[in-house]
A and B are shown apart, each in its own frame.
Chain A
Amino acid sequence: MKDTVKKISFLLILVSLFVPGIMAQGTEETKSVWDSLIGFWGGTGFANFEFKYLIMIIVGVVFILLGIIKHWEPLLLVPIGFGILIGNVPFTPGYQIGIYEQGSVMNILYSGVIQGWYPPLIFLGIGAMTDFSSLISNPKLMLLGAAAQLGIFLTFIGAYAIGFTPAQSGAIAIIGGADGPTAIFLSSKLAPELIGAIAVAAYSYMALVPLIQPPIMKLLVPKSEQKIRMKPPRAVSKSEKIAFPIIGLLLTTFISPSAMPLLGMLFFGNLLKESGVTERLAETARFALINTITILLGVTVGASTQADRFLTWDSMKIFILGALSFMIATAAGLLFARLMNVFLKEGDKINPLIGSAGVSAVPDSARVSQDMGLKADKNNHLLMHAMAPNVAGVIGSAVAAGILLSMLG
C-alpha cells in the first residue's frame, strides 16, 4: 500500500514538472497540428471522392465477382478487377502514387504495357503451352483463323467512319482479334492514350465469349450442318512439330515483320516445348514467366482505368466497336467454314461450328464450339478440331496487328 502511494506521488511530481512546459509550447504548435490534420483529411480518398470513381469501383467489383463466381476468365478478370480498384482509389496527385505519375511504383510496372514488352513475354508462354498438332494435321483449318480477322479490318473502317484517327482506328479494331496481349501491343504503339479502354474491352469480351458467340452460331449455322462429324485428325510426327515453329516464323514474319515481337516469341516458346531438349526453359515460360507477367499485366491494365481518364465517350465508343468487331469476327469464321464446305468433298467437310474459334480467345472459343457441337449431337466432340482455327487465330491476329502497325505506325 505504501509503495502504491509512493508511485502515485512520484507520477504527480513528474506531471507537475512537464505539463506546464507542454502547455506553454502548445499555443504556437496547435495551428500546425490542426493544419496537418486538415492536410491528412485532404489527402484521404473520402475528401477526393467523386461519383465517377464509385462507378469504376463497382465495375472492378463486378469483374472480380464474374471471375470468382462465374469462372469467366478468372486469371484475367480477377487481376484486372483488382487493378481497377487500385486505380480508382481517389488520391491527391503529386506524391508519386498514381499509375500516371512518373516514378511511382505502379507507373514503373505499367511501363511493360506502355513500352509493349509484356505481350511478347505472354506470347512466349502461350507458345510453350500450345500444341499445334491439330493445326498441323489439318492445315486447311488455318484459313478459318484468317477469315475471323475480317472483324478487325471491318471495325477499322467503322472506327474511322465515326471519327477516330487512322492510328486509333487500327488500335481499336484489333479488339476483334480477341487476343489481349496483341491488343495491348498494338495499342501501345498506335494509340497509347486509349490503351486502358482497349485492353479492358478486349479482355472483357474474351471473358464474355460464352455469351456472345452461341447466339451467332445458332443464327448462322443450320441444324443439319451443326451435326457434321469431322474426320479424326492424323497423328503428327515429332519432326513436323519441330518444323512448325521454324517454318511458321519464317513465313509469317517475312510477310509481316512488324509482328516479329509477338510471333517470334510465340514460335520460340513452341520450339522450346517441341524440341524436347529444353524442357526446363519451356516449363519456366509456361508457368512461372507467364503467370508473373499475367499478374503484372492484369493489375496495371486494370489500374490504368483511372476514372478521370477512362470514363469518356471515346471509351464508350470503343466498347461498342469492340463488341461489333467480336461479332463480325465470329460470323466471318462461321460463314467461311460454310463456304469451305462448298468446295470440300463428302467426308472431308468441316463442322462450321469450329469457324467461330478462329477469333482466337484461346481456349474459350474452342470450348464454345465443343459445347455447341455437343448440344447438336451429344457424341460429336469438336474440341480437338476447334483448337486448330483457335491457335490459327492467334497467329492471324498477330499478323493482322503487324500489318496495321506497318501501315499506320
Chain B
Amino acid sequence: MNLLRINQFTDILVESGFGILVVFVALALLVLAFYAFGKISRYQFKKNKTKANQAKNIQPATIDEQDDEIPALEVAAIATALTLFFSDVHDEESNVITIKRIERRYSPWNSKIYGITNLHR
C-alpha cells in the first residue's frame, strides 16, 4: 500500500501536507453531508408539524419558528449536569465510622434489674 516511497525530507513534507489535506477533506465531506441531511430532516420535521397543526386547526402563525432549537436554559442545565457528573461532585465524607455511645442507665435492655428474677417478698 505504499503510495509514495519515502526517502527524502521533501517527501516527508509532501506526505504531511497531503495527510492533513485528506483529513480536512474527509471531515469537510461529513460537514456537507450533515448540513444537507440536517436541512432535509428539518424540512421533513416542519412539514410533519404543519400537517399535524392543520389537523388540529392551529394557525401557522402560532407555530414557533425556533422549535428545532433547545432553549438556552435547558442547555445550561444540561451543561451544568454534565460538569457535575464529570467532576464527580458529591459529599466528601471523612470515612471515619464512630459509634456514638448513648447511655440509657435504666433502659430495659441494659438494666441489671431486668436480668434477674424479681421475687415477691
- By a beta-carbon cutoff of 8 Å, the part of chain A in contact with chain B is 71, 135-137, 139-140, 142-143, 145-147, 149-150, 152-154, 156-157, 160-161, 166, 169, 231-235, 237, 239-240, 243-244, 247-248, 251-252, 255-256, 258, 363, 367, 370, 379, 381-384, 392, 395-396, 399-400, 403-409
Alpha-carbon separation in the docked complex, A168 to B38 (Å): 41
The 3 nearest A-B residue pairs measured at CB: A381-B79, A153-B16, A139-B34
Contact B22–A255 (Cβ < 8 Å) = yes
12 A-B Cβ contacts within 8 A?
Answer: A140-B31, A142-B28, A146-B26, A156-B12, A235-B68, A240-B37, A252-B30, A367-B87, A396-B23, A399-B22, A399-B27, A407-B3
Alpha-carbon separation in the docked complex, A64 to B18 (Å): 40
Chain A: minimal CB distance from B39 (Å): 11
Contact A166–B6 (Cβ < 8 Å) = yes
Chain A: minimal CB distance from B35 (Å): 6
With known contacts A71-B88, A160-B9, A399–B75 Cβ distance under 8 A: no
Instruction: Report which of B1, B2, B19, B82 forms a contact with A156, defined as CB distance below 8 A.
Output: B19
Alpha-carbon separation in the docked complex, A336 to B102 (Å): 67
B29 within 8 Å of A by Cβ?
yes
Chain A contact residues: over half helix, strand or loop, or mixed? helix
Alpha-carbon separation in the docked complex, A169 to B29 (Å): 28
User: Which residues of B have CB within 8 Å of A409?
Assistant: 1-2
With known contacts A160-B9, A240-B38, A363-B86, A153–B19 Cβ distance under 8 A: yes
With known contacts A232-B70, A381-B80, A404–B34 Cβ distance under 8 A: no
Contact B41–A247 (Cβ < 8 Å) = no
Chain B: minimal CB distance from A45 (Å): 33
Alpha-carbon separation in the docked complex, A65 to B95 (Å): 19
Contact B15–A142 (Cβ < 8 Å) = no
B114 within 8 Å of A by Cβ?
no
Contact B23–A403 (Cβ < 8 Å) = yes
Contact A139–B19 (Cβ < 8 Å) = no
Chain B contact residues: over half helix, strand or loop, or mixed? helix
With known contacts A232-B75, A248-B30, A237–B45 Cβ distance under 8 A: yes
Residue-wise, chain B 42-77 has the 8 Å CB interface mask toward A (1 for contact) of 100100000000000000000000001111100110
B78 within 8 Å of A by Cβ?
yes
A-B interface contact total, Cβ < 8 Å: 149
User: Which residues of A have CB within 8 Å of B4?
Assistant: 407
Contact B12–A407 (Cβ < 8 Å) = no
Contact A234–B69 (Cβ < 8 Å) = yes
Contact B79–A150 (Cβ < 8 Å) = no
From 96 to 121 in chain B, residues with beta carbon under 8 angstroms from any chain A beta carbon are none
Alpha-carbon separation in the docked complex, A140 to B35 (Å): 8
Contact A381–B75 (Cβ < 8 Å) = yes
Contact A406–B3 (Cβ < 8 Å) = yes
Residue of B30, B32, B38 contacting most chain A CB atoms (<10 Å): B30
- Name the CB-closest residue of A to B16: A153
Alpha-carbon separation in the docked complex, A252 to B30 (Å): 8
Chain A: minimal CB distance from B45 (Å): 6
Contact B16–A244 (Cβ < 8 Å) = no
User: Which residues of A have CB within 8 Å of B78?
Assistant: 384
Residue of A139, A251, A255 contacting most chain B CB atoms (<10 Å): A139
Chain B: minimal CB distance from A252 (Å): 5
Alpha-carbon separation in the docked complex, A331 to B33 (Å): 27
Q: Known pairs A154-B16, A240-B34, A255-B22. 18 more at Cβ < 8 A?
A: A143-B27, A152-B19, A156-B15, A157-B12, A160-B9, A234-B69, A234-B70, A235-B68, A235-B70, A237-B45, A251-B26, A251-B29, A251-B33, A367-B86, A383-B82, A392-B27, A396-B27, A406-B3
